[in-house]
Amino acid sequence: MKILLVDDEAMHRALLEDIFSKWPEHKITSVASGQAALDLLKTSGQTFDIVFLDIKMPGLSGLQVLEQLWESPLHRSLEIVMCSTLDDKPTIIKAIELGARHYMVKPATEKSVAKKLQQIAKIPDASVS
C-alpha cells in the first residue's frame, strides 16, 4: 500500500516510519504540514491508499486538511486515519463527521498500526456496487 504520513513532529513521523519499515510491502511518504499534504495530494499526481493525519498541527490542522480533502471527489477513496494525543469524544466525532473512518491515539505502536491496517483491509470499497 502507498501510505502518506502527515505530522508536524519529526519524532512521530520517525516512529511511524520505523514501524512501517518492518513491512516492506508499504511505500511510505512523509510530510511535515497539512499544507504540504494537500499540495502533494492535489497537485503532484501521486496517489495514496492511506493517510495517517495528525490533528494538531500549526497552519492547517488535520481536521482542516480532512475537510478540504472531502471537498474533492478525487480523494473520497482515501482511507484517512486521524492520529492525535487527543482522546476526547468531541474531537473524534468531528473527525468522523468530516469523513474520517479511523482514529488512532498517539503515540503509535506496532500493534496499534497493525490493527488499524487490518481494519482498513476489511472495509469494502464504497464505490463498488
pLDDT at 62 over 70: yes
pLDDT at 44 over 90: no
- pLDDT, the chain, mean: 88
Q: How confident is the model over 83-90, as a mean pLDDT?
A: 88
Q: 46 is written with which cell numbers? A: 501521486
pLDDT at 39 over 70: yes
- Please say whether the beta carbons of 93 and 71 come within 8 A: no
pLDDT at 16 over 80: yes
Q: 42 is written with which cell numbers? A: 492535489
Concatenated DSSP letters for 63-128? Answer: HHHHHHHHTSGGGTTPEEEEEES---HHHHHHHHHTT--EEEESSP-HHHHHHHHHHHHHSPPTT-
User: 2-122 — its CATH code?
Assistant: 3.40.50.2300
The domain spans of the chain are 2-122
Whether this model's pTM surpasses 0.85 = yes
- Which DSSP symbol is given to 21? T
- The residue ranking higher by pLDDT, 43 or 115, is 115
